[in-house]
A and B are shown apart, each in its own frame.
Chain A
Amino acid sequence: MSLDNIQSQLAEIVNSGDPTFANFATQINQIVEQAKSGQMSNAEVAEILRDAQSQLVILEEMSDLALKEKLNVAINALIMIASVV
Chain B
Amino acid sequence: MKRLLAIALVLSLNGCALWEAYNLAHFDPNEYRIVTEIRTDASLYKDQCPDAVVSKANAQAIYLKTQLFENYSEQIPYNSNSIKASKELNNIAKGLKERYAGKDPVSPMFCKLKFESIEHSAQTMQHVLGNRPR
Contact = CB atoms under 8 A, between A and B. Distances in A.
The answer to whether A binds B is yes
Interface of A: 27, 31, 34, 39-41, 43-44, 47-48, 50-52, 54-55, 57-59, 61-62, 64-66, 68-69, 71-73, 75-76, 78-79, 81-82, 85
Contacts of B127: 62
Contact of B133 (A39, A41, A64, A69): A69
A85 B124 contact: no
B6 A81 contact: yes
Interface of B: 1-3, 6-7, 9-10, 13, 17-18, 20-22, 24, 81-82, 84-85, 88-89, 91-92, 95, 99, 104, 106-107, 109-110, 113-114, 116-117, 120-121, 124-125, 127-128, 131-133
B104 A41 contact: yes
